Amino acid sequence: MECLLAEEKSLSNLSRKRSNSALSSTSSNQKSREEKSAPYKDSQYELLLRTKGTYMDVSELDITDASKRLVRNLLEGEQPVPKETIFDDAIFVDACRKLQGKNEARIIQDISRLIVPSAETFALCAKDLRLLTESVDELWDNSIPLTGTPPQPDYSVGFRRDAFTNDQLARMPTVRP
């Protein structure tokens, strides 16, 4: 199985990438989300994933009972509406009207942090989260992609490199301590 952790970039590699970043980032980010997701919509994509050992099917192992309980509690439990946000009943309809006709970037900006709060912002107050890092719409050009295209998630959270000991890094085949 291929490891999805990336090697640390060298300083010379980083400076070269920074000098080219305006060109590469701009051209990549100017593509619409539709264009970026086109390969995933191909009917043969699931077959391609199977050849890599990844399956889009129900696992014979099923879902753990603890996970089932968690999902059930989230679905059946009362979820508080965040106060003084666009989800407030008093302003929700007006907020939706203001977003009508806006581009996707604007809608994401207004709504995304309400749905998925920033891990790094939480880490400012929670010391146990300080080893997390996040990225927004960044091309994972230092990753080992499962298919030919490096991933570019809308939002991702992971562990910073210094979250791992040298011994742990040494056990990861594609990462050098």
pLDDT in tens, 114-123: 888 889 998 8
Q: In terms of DSSP H, where are the helices of the chain?
A: 11-30, 33-41, 45-51, 65-76, 89-99, 104-115, 119-123, 166-170
Radius of gyration, CA atoms only, the chain: 20
Structure tokens at 71: 């999902």
160 neighbors 131 (Cβ within 8 angstroms) = yes
For residues 86 and 31, which has the higher predicted lDDT (pLDDT)? Answer: 86
pTM tops 0.95, yes or no: no
How do residues 94-111 score in pLDDT, each as one tens digit? Answer: 988 999 999 988 998 888
The CA-atom distances, in angstroms, between 117 and each of 39, 65, 110, 120 are: 29, 27, 12, 9
